[in-house]
Amino acid sequence: MSEKASQKDRTIEKELGTQTRLLARSIDKGSLATAMRDDQWPYASLVMTASDHDGSPLLLISELAEHTQNILKDHRCGLLIDGTAGLDTPLTGSRITLIGTLQRTEESQPLERYIRRHTDAEIYAGFADFALYRMTVERVHMVAGFGDIHWIGGTAFRFNADTAAALAESEADIIDHMNDDHHEAVTLYATNLLGLPPNDWRLTGIDPEGCDLRAAGTVARLAFDRIVRDAEEARAELVKLVKKARNSGNS
């Protein structure tokens, strides 16, 4: 393979990585496949998900659950993220299967991120049998419709968030500020930029690539026009987007 062809393949894989990561960030649940600990038969279960700043899936699960018992014996798993809801023909829609391993993490920032996305999780997050698990994605199978099928590596799926540590540290303050002082702007993001109905929209997360919104049981993803690395860059992007939202509402 020529260097030019190899570079083209890397560019395509990077673009596919961005697409699959966006889908994973946009959905708040998935189907987790594990191997039964006693006989290795496949077992699938519904789990609620969030994404870390690099896109890695986060799951808050109980040690009493079958899937957790399976994971404790064999960390390998598959996670189906389904983006076909509401389509007349679901098989024309996008879905991804993430293949990798689940490991328990004691880090507080990912747990806080998960709870902001799933506020009801705060009730049981402190229970002794519950713990947060982060998925290390090794491969991704992407189906974006009939015949539009790809395999990509875990490296392409993960976003390099190492240079955005300052944003992660400021995330909670940014979200509280937007929800408390700029609730109208958050609503405009949802209605004017994403075309969603008016509701009590709240920001639940912000990462280098965009921000997450929620209203009751509905979640949404607003992508940034540029990568942001710290609070100042995030503020500039959020201000730009609210101006864009107001202009679109006036047109």
pLDDT of the residue at 248: 86
Tokens found for residue 49: 């998900």
Q: Select from 188, 230, 234 the least CA-distant residue to 213.
A: 188
Q: Which pLDDT value is given to residue 7?
A: 78
β-strand partners of 136: 101
Residue 251 has pLDDT above 60, yes or no: no
State the CATH architecture for 3-159.
Roll (2.30)
Sheet with strand 218-223: strands edge to edge? 202-207, 210-215, 218-223
pTM: 0.94
For residue 5, pLDDT beyond 90: no
C-alpha to C-alpha distance for 13 and 113, rounded to whole angstroms: 28
Tell me the longest C-alpha to C-alpha distance in the chain. 61
Domain segments of the chain as ranges: 3-159, 164-250
Domain 164-250: homologous superfamily in CATH:
PNP-oxidase-like (3.20.180.10)
Q: How far apart are CA 24 and CA 141, in angstroms?
A: 12
| pLDDT band at residue 250 under the 50/70/90 scheme | low
Instruction: Determine the 3-state secondary structure of 192 from DSSP.
Output: helix
